[in-house]
Structure 1
Amino acid sequence: MKQSGIITDWTGVSGEWIPSTNGSNGGIWECPTLIELPIDGDPTKTKWVLQVSINDGAPAGGSGMQYFVGSFDGKTFKNDNPADKVLWADYGADYYAAVDWSGSEGENGEKYWLGWMSNWQYANHTPTSTWRSSTTLPRKMELTQTEDGLRLKQTPVSLNSIRDRKGKVSFTNKVISSDRNLLSNLSEDTFEMIAEFDIKDIDATEFGFKVRKGAKEYTTIGYDVSTKQLFVDRTNSGSFDYGSNVVGKHEGPLTDSNGTVKMHIFVDRSAVEVFGNNGETVITDQIFPDPLSKELELYSKDGKVTLKSLEIYPLKTIWKKNSPFKSKLSGWTTINGNWTDTINGKQGQSDGDAFILAKESGKDFTYEADIKVLDTDSHPNDSEKDTIGNLVGAGALVFRSDSTAKNSYVLNLDVRNNVVKLIKFVNGIGYELVVYNDDGRLNLMTNKEYHLKVVTEDSHIKVYLDNKLIINKKDDTFNEGYFGLNVWSSTVVFNKVKVK
């Protein structure tokens, strides 16, 4: 009779036999890093650390990083902990594939690394417009001795050079209760915060901060007193769907240090990085709140907590003041979609039609711009889609528009359909006036820059593609209006936008 099953009882006859797996095996292992780290800043005392990225199976769901502490003889790494002991480098959802620098060690053997701030559960769908995801702040790595053994400690590099010291806010020795918010007058979306709480005689069950707070959204960064867990809860951080495999609240163990809990927090427009105590517990998460959600709240739950100290530093931008977007038009106002200035010019992104309008208007004019429809990661079997999953579509010049762009002319460079269209929108509905494809020889391409120009005189509209006249049309629906830009189902970059 045929039988099947799993053999579980093994007895070694000769040689050395050990379990073949260590740590978490919930997903694929990749991007290993093997590095020798000092213990508590002493370069004479070191241990080896093996870092491994795992996808899926991390504590927040999806991608994450685990590590092992042990010895390495040049050929074999031996784990000091039991095979089933799992240690996580970061308890958030967005720390993966971290890499370290070689040859950058300081006098005490300091080592530095940074991670990819995203998660493969949603990395291709995050609602960003300049680029998709980023890296974390660089972090100094070392090992520290704890009651449970050697553990990884991470310290963020100093951002002292971009702290806005004029905008600094600080408090000392304040009792925080549920009916009092010390930060009610603050409004920030990019800042660094260092807080210390005294929990020796605490009666609150939870305390912390609500950042990027708006009318209906916020991200909570807090500490659960009973479970001794540092956490970030982005359940209410915005409308973006992270997927069912990623939990909303991300927790990591954090024991107080002589009755004190320290939070070192960095908040950016789409991210939070939280370092507990001196970096023994770290949580990194992307968030996608409304740009207008900038309020802060300092809270306690079910009682009071003593705030020993708090420093908040607004952070200055590292980008140059002069925009790479070259235009004689000004006062650009987004009507819909996502618009931003990038190193290549003004970039628009949308799943459908999206408009942005300048404050200038005109009747008879020459209006022109360089336009490039992006497709930065096309695939042989997915040629109509760009990196954000949108169908590659079109970019356009908008002219003689009303203030809503619902009534306007649109000169459309349509890469998907390989045509140039002159369209008029009436009450938000588009009507094609002329469709040009050069008898099928046009061959428009993504990632190639084209120059569009429109010349109007009374009801006459002339269109030029790379200085070649391609459309000559008469239409008197609109006589005057605002200048603008449009994207349709794509990501498009515009530059050298000018009117005369």
Structure 2
Amino acid sequence: MTRAGPAAAPRTPSRGVAVSAALVLTLLAGCTGVPDDDRSPSGTTSPPAAGPDAYTEQWRPQFHYSPPEGRLADPNGLVWFEGEWHLFHQQDGTWAHAVSTDLVHWETLPTALEHDELGQALSGSAVVDGGNTSGLFPEGEGGLVAVYTSTEGGEAQSVAYSTDRGRTWERFAGNPVIPNDGRTDFRDPKVFWHDPTSRWVMVVSVGGVVELHGSPDLLDWEPLSTFGEGQGLHSAVWECPDLFPLPVDGNPDDTRWVLTVSVGASEETAGSTAQYFVGDFDGTTFVRDPTTPPETVQVTDVGQDFYAAQTFENAPDGRRLWMGWMGDWRFPYAAPTAPWQNAMSVPRELSLRRVDPGAAAPSGEVLADGGYVLAQAPVPELEVLDEETTTVTDLAVEDGDVVLDSPGGTFEVLAEIDVGDAEEVGLRVRERRGEDGSVAEATVVGVGPDGFFLDRTQGGVTTLLDRSGADADFGVRRTAAYAPVDGVVRLRVLVDESSVEAFADDGALTGTLVVYPGEGTDGLSVYARGGTATVRSIEVTRLASIWR
């Protein structure tokens, strides 16, 4: 018999080696942006039929999920149920819907939650109520329950449920289950089952903090606690929280809880960003690890385009996986694409790694009390897309660059580079050269004097309209303080038609950028500046389309 909800069991980490002890995350100051949820009319109610030219438009992602048409935003209701991965996402205040059996190939379904008498269906989560704690299902049965933010009369938390594997949904007649009490920002509920206290727990964003609520049945909720005052980054409103346990270094007997929140656009962070906190949760209160100073900011992703990430509930084999919206609240719907806008990141597997006490940080500071790093890695299921692989080893790069064979528009790079005495090393992807051989266009991933960086200042489109409707600089460079382990940079980079996702040191540091490259940008090169670096190995693998 299916239990009431998924237990908070230890999670299996992704594959990879231990994190560098010398790693500290920092934010790069930048330009302005104002966070706000979209308030436009309802989106498409059913997916269009796929014709021979479907998913072939310029900049259409070939191995990331994007909708057939319309505007994709925050992932919602990520859940595994009866052999299917469910991906819901914001689309003009509705819950658009797609499913997959392998986390790679997705089928778009009709919109799950349209607008109703309580307004829009903003972000939220979905759970498997296998024990029918809610009483919303026939006796002896269970099903999927969505908890989301409705908008009429102010942001409030409401419930919908499905008895047919998520194909159709009914609203709970007693909505909202947590009414608005006059607050402006009260949204994005993430719900999970907490086995030790035998109740459902909700973490929901309230301005610059998160609140925790508890319920025996998903319908009657009581406040439990609040977290966030004086903790981390407060440059803008907190949104789309998540709270989940992870074993430390894969040890199921040493578990910590991770709280993630996205932070809306601001000048301080050059757009929107996301951060995480590591600590303990007793079923009522989340407490950050006391060895971490309250003002410490640990960013989830160095790039500008990984927002509102949510983990899949009820994932099999104890895995903790998530996806994020590859977008930014500075340019939420400015993409020069049609008939769709925006895409999801690839699914990533999460693990938690300990930074040993006494380790030296990149600044030279000694981390006397240690700490934790949230690591991310693309799920191994993506390997089904691997096609031709080219490998180069023992390549010296002396204060210049080496052009590699063209991999096309969609590929993966695995690189191990000994920095040597070089001041900067990196990869140029989606590259185009001029007649004189100079680099005319490229997006760059590398390590230099300012740490790990992603740079699209010459990556194609460099100006877009921001939320105010004004021209704004899209060609940004994002950085984080970083020191390679033993002087060796280990990079994994996924390149699609309009995105670059980079993972350093087996995902201890990640960066995501949306890019809109020009025609003929199918080149790849490796470079060193100010000295000589050695490419120990570099593997370039072409990736197949998920739509063909």
Mark yes or no: TM-score above 0.5: yes
TM-score between both structures, scaled by the size of structure 1: 0.56
C-alpha change, 1:293 and 1:137, in structure 2 (3 Å) is same
Which residue does the alignment assign to 1:237?
459
Structure 2 residue aligned with 1:197, among 414, 417, 430? 417
Which residue does the alignment assign to 2:72?
none
Shift of 1:187: 4.6
Q: How does 1:195-274 map to 2 (within 5 A)?
A: 195-199=415-419, 202-214=420-432, 215=434, 216-224=440-448, 226-227=449-450, 229-242=451-464, 244=472, 248-274=476-502
Shift of 1:170: 0.5
User: Match of 1:241, as an amino acid?
Assistant: T
Shift of 1:206: 0.5
Look up the SS of the partner of 1:203 in the other structure.
Answer: coil
User: Match of 2:300, as an amino acid?
Assistant: A
* Counterpart contact for 2:391–2:540, Cα < 8 Å: yes
Which residue does the alignment assign to 1:111?
320
**Deviation by residue 1:390-414 (Cα, 9 ceiling, x = unmatched):** xxxxxxxxxxxxxxxxxxxxxxxxx
Shift of 1:57: 4.1
Shift of 1:217: 1.5
Structure 2 residue aligned with 1:169, among 390, 393, 397? 390
* Counterpart contact for 1:127–1:240, Cα < 8 Å: no
Which residue does the alignment assign to 1:95?
306
Which residue does the alignment assign to 1:135?
344
Structure 1 residue aligned with 2:408, among 188, 195, 207? 188
**Deviation by residue 1:135-184 (Cα, 9 ceiling, x = unmatched):** 1011111110114411111111122111113xx1111111112345141x
* Counterpart contact for 1:61–1:246, Cα < 8 Å: no
* Counterpart contact for 1:61–1:247, Cα < 8 Å: no
Shift of 1:104: 1.0
Q: How does 1:86-485 map to 2 (within 5 A)?
A: 86-106=297-317, 109-146=318-355, 147=359, 148-158=370-380, 159-165=382-388, 168-183=389-404, 185-199=405-419, 202-214=420-432, 215=434, 216-224=440-448, 226-227=449-450, 229-242=451-464, 244=472, 248-320=476-548
C-alpha change, 1:115 and 1:68, in structure 2 (3 Å) is same
Shift of 1:42: 1.7
Shift of 1:253: 2.9
Look up the SS of the partner of 2:257 in the other structure.
Answer: strand
Shift of 1:255: 2.5
Look up the SS of the partner of 1:74 in the other structure.
Answer: coil
- Distance in 2 (alpha carbons) for counterparts of 1:281 and 1:58: 23
* Counterpart contact for 1:62–1:245, Cα < 8 Å: no
Which residue does the alignment assign to 2:281?
72
Residue 82 in structure 1 maps to residue 82 in structure 2: no
C-alpha change, 1:247 and 1:179, in structure 2 (3 Å) is closer
* Counterpart contact for 1:61–1:245, Cα < 8 Å: no
Shift of 1:22: 1.0
- Distance in 1 (alpha carbons) for counterparts of 2:351 and 2:418: 26
- Distance in 2 (alpha carbons) for counterparts of 1:79 and 1:231: 28
**Deviation by residue 1:92-112 (Cα, 9 ceiling, x = unmatched):** 000000010112152xx4311
User: Match of 1:95, as an amino acid?
Assistant: F
* Counterpart contact for 2:462–2:473, Cα < 8 Å: no
Structure 2 residue aligned with 1:49, among 242, 246, 258? 258
* Counterpart contact for 1:177–1:304, Cα < 8 Å: yes
- Distance in 1 (alpha carbons) for counterparts of 2:505 and 2:374: 13
C-alpha change, 1:207 and 1:308, in structure 2 (3 Å) is same
* Counterpart contact for 1:57–1:64, Cα < 8 Å: no
Structure 1's unaligned 5+ residue stretches are 1-17, 321-500
Runs of 4+ residues deviating >3 angstroms? 57-60, 242-247
Look up the SS of the partner of 2:323 in the other structure.
Answer: strand
- Distance in 1 (alpha carbons) for counterparts of 2:413 and 2:406: 13
* Counterpart contact for 1:62–1:121, Cα < 8 Å: yes
**Deviation by residue 1:302-356 (Cα, 9 ceiling, x = unmatched):** 1110111110001111113xxxxxxxxxxxxxxxxxxxxxxxxxxxxxxxxxxxx
What's the RMSD between the two structures over aligned residues? Answer: 2.1
Shift of 1:290: 1.0
- Distance in 2 (alpha carbons) for counterparts of 1:83 and 1:123: 30
Look up the SS of the partner of 2:441 in the other structure.
Answer: coil
- Distance in 1 (alpha carbons) for counterparts of 2:488 and 2:541: 22
In the alignment of these two chains, the number of paired residues is 295
Shift of 1:235: 0.4
- Distance in 2 (alpha carbons) for counterparts of 1:137 and 1:19: 29
C-alpha change, 1:180 and 1:79, in structure 2 (3 Å) is closer
The percentage of aligned residue pairs carrying the same residue is 33
Out of 266-275 and 72-81, give the one that drifted further: 72-81
C-alpha change, 1:274 and 1:56, in structure 2 (3 Å) is same
- Distance in 2 (alpha carbons) for counterparts of 1:92 and 1:123: 15
- Distance in 1 (alpha carbons) for counterparts of 2:269 and 2:340: 24
Q: How does 1:25-44 map to 2 (within 5 A)?
A: 25-44=234-253
Look up the SS of the partner of 1:33 in the other structure.
Answer: strand
Which residue does the alignment assign to 1:402?
none
- Distance in 2 (alpha carbons) for counterparts of 1:140 and 1:118: 20
C-alpha change, 1:29 and 1:173, in structure 2 (3 Å) is same
Shift of 1:209: 1.1
**Deviation by residue 1:105-128 (Cα, 9 ceiling, x = unmatched):** 52xx43110100000111211112
Look up the SS of the partner of 2:301 in the other structure.
Answer: coil
- Distance in 2 (alpha carbons) for counterparts of 1:298 and 1:29: 38
